[in-house]
A and B are shown apart, each in its own frame.
Chain A
Amino acid sequence: MKKLSSSLLNMVIVLTLIAVIAGGILAYVNSVTAPQIEKINADNLAAGIKSVMGGGDVQVAPEETMTATIGGKDKLFAVYPVSDASGTSLGKAIKTSENGFGGDLEVLVGFDPEGTILGYTVLQHAETPGLGAKAGLWFQKDGKGNIIGMNPGKNNFTVSKDGGEVDAITASTITSRAFLKAIQNAYDTAYGNSSK
């Protein structure tokens, strides 16, 4: 077949055709994948909430948004009140973020009704791979800097370097500080600045 010549009409027709076909295909693929992407995000959140609340059969109430002014800027917290099958409140799961070493560190943390930490999971981070990324395990129950069972309102919830009760991740003080700060902020917003 002979190659189409570069006349203006040909060029316009071809470019428009390609753009329309490409746009059509993309719109179709988007309509197929969009619900799936939404479902995955919702599933991940539901699984995350379940795990930070200590597992078991839990009912998650719809998201509530709380705002707090921290460091002169408004910060948003997504709060998910959780109750057990019979409707008794188990506490709250809160999505909170803080500036870490390389970018935002986003944590989902579960509190019981008194504000004691039940569990946490790191949702998103941009920390140094291998070092800051350890936050996912370090502060868990069998990790070296266990925070499960602590209450940011009662315990001194800072790293030991700053006079607190939590052991920082080796060589990642900044990440550790950001992590604890994110949880502290979530606590302060949802439970208020109580006795310390």
Chain B
Amino acid sequence: MSYFKILKNGIVKENPTFVLLLGMCPTLGTTSSAINGLSMGLATTFVLILSNLIISLIKNLVPDKVRIPSYIVVIASLVTILQMLMQAYLPGIYATLGLFIPLIVVNCIILGRAEAFAAKNGPVESIFDGVGIGIGFTIALTLLGACREILGTGVLFKSDDFGIAGIPLQGESGGMLMFVLAPGAFIVLGYLIAIVNKMRKA
């Protein structure tokens, strides 16, 4: 498989959110705004690329029966490193994403890719797979966050953590708050997947 194909596979054909329907907890829990979704996507991508790389490097050194615990230790260490780095250098966004950062450990996308791809392919292919799936996940989260933000607050790309004012698209308080709250997450994602289904059939 060419590298470009691996990339495209992760973004389009096996998009983790819209097609594989994996990693739903952070998808719904952190997308109250586009920037939050983007940050979560990038955080997950960071772990995904490194875990894919490391696992493809050590795959022959790990006996089959202890495969899963070893992979979990690798992933958990990477997540902890990410946690410490974010706490030290991006404390605002770390506080916003909160619990969902340590929970990257149990994101099925990461262990899933480790098992399905990195354990069978070389390091370079595995990095590309990590980048592709990571971008696919990030795009999905940003899109979902953007839809919820526009519908819920009437502003796009606003972030207090980074001090970005955002693009106002409606009047002062021209949003339906429900879309920023929990029900909006489910409903917007439901419609987005329906649209993707429709486009794939066409």
Contacts and interface: CB of A to CB of B under 8 A. Distances in A.
Interface of A: 1-7, 10-11, 14-15, 18-19, 22, 25-26, 29-30, 33-34, 36-37, 40-41, 44, 124, 128-131
B65 A130 contact: no
Contact of A130 (B58, B91, B180): B180
A19 B91 CA distance: 28
Contact of B61 (A4, A6, A26, A124): A4
A26 B77 contact: yes
Interface stretch (B20-28, B66-74, B103-111, B124-132): B66-74
B28 to A, nearest CB: 14
Contacts of A25: 77, 81
A6 B64 CA distance: 6
B79 to A, nearest CB: 10
B63 A29 contact: no
Nearest to B82: A29
Interface in B165-180: 175, 177, 180
Contacts of A124: 95
Contacts of B63: 3-7, 10-11, 14
Contacts of B58: 18
Nearest 6 Cβ contacts at the A-B interface: A36-B88, A33-B88, A6-B63, A22-B77, A6-B65, A33-B84
Nearest to B71: A18
Q: Quick one: which of A1, A19, A29, A30 has the most chain B CB within 10 A?
A: A29
24 contacts: A3-B63, A3-B64, A4-B63, A5-B63, A6-B63, A6-B64, A10-B63, A11-B63, A14-B62, A18-B58, A22-B74, A29-B81, A29-B85, A33-B84, A33-B87, A33-B88, A36-B88, A36-B89, A37-B84, A124-B95, A128-B177, A128-B181, A129-B32, A130-B153
B60 A19 contact: no
B80 interface: yes
Given A1-B60, A130-B153, A18 B85 contact: no
Interface of B: 32, 58-66, 69-70, 73-74, 76-77, 80-81, 84-85, 87-89, 91, 95, 152-153, 175, 177, 180-181
Given A2-B60, A26-B80, A26-B81, A37 B152 contact: no
Contacts of A10: 63
B107 to A, nearest CB: 18
Given A2-B60, A40-B91, 18 more contacts: A3-B60, A3-B63, A3-B64, A4-B63, A6-B63, A7-B63, A11-B65, A14-B61, A14-B62, A14-B66, A14-B70, A15-B73, A30-B84, A128-B177, A128-B181, A129-B181, A130-B175, A130-B180
Given A18-B70, A19-B73, A33 B91 contact: no
A63 B111 CA distance: 45
B122 to A, nearest CB: 12
Contacts of B88: 33, 36-37, 40
Contacts of A15: 66, 69-70, 73
Nearest to B85: A33
Contacts of B69: 15
Given A4-B60, A11-B66, A130-B177, A37 B74 contact: no
A50 to B, nearest CB: 18
B65 A18 contact: no
Question: Which residue, of A3, A18, A34, A40, has the highest number of chain B Cβ atoms within 10 A?
Answer: A18
